[in-house]
Chain A
Amino acid sequence: MKAIILAVAVLLVSAPAALASERHPTLAELEGQLMCPTCKTPLAESNSPAANRIRSFVVERIRGGDTKSEIVDKLVTEFGPEIRAAPAKNGFDLLAWLLPLGGLLGGAVVIGALAWRWSRAREPASIGGVPAQNGRVSIEPELERRLDEELARFE
């Protein structure tokens, strides 16, 4: 219950911030979400002429009142989806987000199943292939005979 309340509280706190960021993006935010098309590095790390021109375009569009999505969409139209620093969260690109999550979940399920199977497989020990009976450990007759002989020598 505490976890649910905490999750709701986090959502309530972060939602207005995300909305504000969408409606009134800053150059710094977008520099982290866009790539320089010529040098293939984040825009924030590039000073190439192309990166500087994109930076100017972003500033112009922010001043023009565009939202973050509108600015990114315009740049995708001009340069293609490679201008995004991260894949879009829709269409085929959504797979890039879902596959790692699926892999993590699948891995967790496999590890969990193996751990469960391993813990159940730990039956009382058997020696020489003869299963335990009535909670007691049995051994093969030949081994038992040799053991008896060895013990008899010491008696």
Chain B
Amino acid sequence: MAESEAPGRSPLKRGAELVALAAVLGLLGLLIWKVVNQEHSKIPQQVAKGEHPPAPDFELPRLDGTGSVSLASLRGKAVVLNFWASWCGPCRDEVPTLERAWKRYRSRGLVMLGIDQQDLASDARTFASKYGMTYPIVKDRRGRVVARYGLTGVPETFFIDRRGRVVDHVPLQINAVQLDEGIEKALTS
């Protein structure tokens, strides 16, 4: 007979309970959505353990404004992804190394792709022109690709093989030896 109390409960109280329940469920839904959609990339850790995780796909606009580049369109080629920004000193220092490697390996099916991030486009264009970057550059305006690759700073370089797997990763400024090793892995994996 506990149910006999129900008719006695006022519509106001029932309404307040429903509103409170809806609010709690709404907040819970938001929390679940946030957790599910949060980018928690473990790519650097996976690569460090010797794994070859699939490289997250992206499509980003070219810095020079001539269309966009998607990673999927580069499938079948080895790709070097170099994240940089014009305000970053080590990024400037590694440009000659990257440029040399790009010119040396491109005939073997290598694509060098610079990803400018957290930067003013005008600064990035000036930087690319000043330091003679001839390889394609795209701009990650919202930092989404940065999050998918688990970047902790710039510069960082990822090596992707012809099957679209990340086979090597170098945080901070890269040197010629690291670059050659990574490119060989990407070309031969």
Main secondary structure of the interface of A (DSSP, over half): helix
Q: Is the CB of B19 within 8 A of A106?
A: yes
Contact of B120 among A38, A78, A113, A117 (CB under 8 A): A78
Q: A50-B85, A79-B141 are contacts. A38–B10 as well, Cβ < 8 Å?
A: no
Q: A79-B118, A80-B143 are contacts. A110–B10 as well, Cβ < 8 Å?
A: no
Interface residues on A, range: 10 to 19
Residues of B within 8 A of A37 (CB): 118, 143
Q: Does B123 contact A (CB under 8 A)?
A: yes
- CB-CB contacts of A112-126 with B at 8 A, as 1s and 0s? 011001000000000
Residues of B within 8 A of A80 (CB): 141-143
Q: Is the CB of B141 within 8 A of A49?
A: no
Closest to A37 in B: B118
Q: Does B87 contact A (CB under 8 A)?
A: yes
Q: Is the CB of B12 within 8 A of A53?
A: no
Closest to A116 in B: B12
Contact of B88 among A49, A114, A117 (CB under 8 A): A49
Question: Which residues of B come within 8 Å of A, CB atoms?
Answer: 10, 12-13, 16, 19, 85-89, 118-121, 123, 141-143
